[in-house]
Amino acid sequence: MAAKKLLILPGDGIGVEVMTQVRRIIDWMAKKRKIEFDISEGLLGGAAYDVHGTPYPTQTLEAALAADAVLLGAVGGPKWDDLPFDKKPERGLLGIRKDMGLFANLRPATVLDALADASTLKHDVVAGLDIMILRELTGGLYFGEPRGIETLADGSRKGFNTLVYTTPEIVRIGRVAFELARKRNKKLCSVDKANVLECTVLWREEMIKLQKEEFPDVELTHMYVDNAAMQLVRNPKQFDVMVTENMFGDILSDCAAMLTGSLGMLPSASLGAADAEGRRKALYEPVHGSAPDIAGKDMANPLATILSFAMCLRYSFNMDAEAEMIETAVKTVLKGGLRTADIMQAGKAKVSTTVMGEAVVRELDKIS
């Protein structure tokens, strides 16, 4: 089999530090599991601006399009705050997501036993939580036309955005959702606002059609987005996979993220269209940013990025066993009492980014 082409973009701030730890895991996989990776590293964000005068160099885009998967740290920081909008590090991130056509954003919200008390919700409500929110990422209200602010004849002003989805856009995100559900517990909840928004009436109709025609083995339910927000906080464990429109997903996935209580633990994946062999363009990154307040201090939690690499193994390379090895190693390290500062609890041992990364590798050694 051909080597797995991995592009690594550490980015800025703690992105660089957490990626150093991921490199240890990748090296371990290459050595101990005999997985052949073809790894290259590139610049994105402020780091790219400092070298090339642009946050999004052409060679980074070309490398991303040629890769089987891209692994990203985080971008941004105060050093680049005064740059014009098109030079800001965040433009690099938006650019690469757009040019790779990443329309499906996977945001798992998982509560590991060792951290079940980190949530602001009651232990019983969140303990054992393991849900996946799939957000449509390139359409919907954030991209719909027409949009803008206009001055009306009477001098008052009008601001407007448009919620638009075409059937191909709904079907392609729907397929990713059903495939995910099929790989997990065969339960999909489609979230819409079909009682008020025509666009989401179409969304619901297409989901129903897709279920009938291609995924009869997956149970499909529907929920209005306002109720979904309530249910996520009241009883999140009723869900398994949820799929929804761009803005709804932005809000619901952040809400679900906080059920877990720790930004430093949250991975994500963004997928694009499938090629003839069924392979999708893919980018994996932690949910958190570059954390300038702790950058360079060896304090950042590397687990979100390590778990993003586990998602990469699962969704880009179909290596479920290896993904699970990483997830198990992370759980065991936490159970053993090691904590970075962001997830510190009374009675636990506070460790650095480096020590946390090393501990995960040691666990991998034990379970392999």
Q: Which residues bind ligand NAI (CB under 6 A)?
A: 14, 74-77, 90, 93, 263-264, 285, 288-294, 300-301, 304, 340, 342
Compute the distance between CA of residue 86 and CA of residue 78 in angstroms, rounded to an integer. Answer: 16
193 in active site = yes
Q: Which is nearer to ligand NAI, 236 or 302 (CB)?
A: 302
Q: Which is nearer to Mg ion, 219 or 254 (CB)?
A: 254
Q: Which is nearer to ligand NAI, 74 or 115 (CB)?
A: 74
List the single partner that 119 binds among Mg ion, ligand NAI, none, CB under 5 to 8 Å by kind: none
Enumerate residues 6+ apart whose C-beta is below 8 A from 280: 271, 272, 273, 274, 315, 316
Give helix then strand counts, H and E, for the chain: 12, 14
226 in active site = yes
Residue list 252-291, contact with Mg ion (CB under 5 A): 254
Q: What angle do CA 10, 12, 16 make, to 5 degrees?
A: 45
| Cβ atoms within 10 Å of 274's Cβ, excluding its own | 14
Residue list 199-218, contact with Mg ion (CB under 5 A): none
Tokens 């209200």: give the residue.
141
Whether 122 has a binding-site annotation, put simply, is no
Please give the helix or strand (H or E) that residue 60 lies within, else none: helix 58-66
Q: What angle in degrees, to the nearest 10, is found between the helix axes of 246-260 and 225-234? A: 10
Do residues 19 and 8 touch, judged by C-beta distance below 8 A? yes
Active-site option among 4, 68, 193, 284:
193
Minimum distance, C-beta of residue 186 to ligand NAI, in the bound complex (Å): 31
Q: Which is nearer to ligand NAI, 26 or 47 (CB)?
A: 47
Enumerate residues 6+ apart whose C-beta is below 8 A from 230: none
List the single partner that 250 binds among Mg ion, ligand NAI, none, CB under 5 to 8 Å by kind: Mg ion
List the single partner that 77 binds among Mg ion, ligand NAI, none, CB under 5 to 8 Å by kind: ligand NAI
Closest CA to 82 of 46, 110, 107, 58: 46
| Cβ atoms within 10 Å of 113's Cβ, excluding its own | 11
List the single partner that 292 binds among ligand NAI, Mg ion, none, CB under 5 to 8 Å by kind: ligand NAI
365 in active site = no
Q: Which is nearer to Mg ion, 7 or 109 (CB)?
A: 109
Minimum distance, C-beta of residue 6 to ligand NAI, in the bound complex (Å): 18
Active-site option among 117, 217, 226, 365:
226
Indicate the annotated binding residues.
Answer: 77-90, 97, 107, 135, 226, 250, 254, 289-301
Residues comprising the binding site for Mg(2+)? 226, 250, 254
Contact set with Mg ion (CB under 5 A):
250, 254
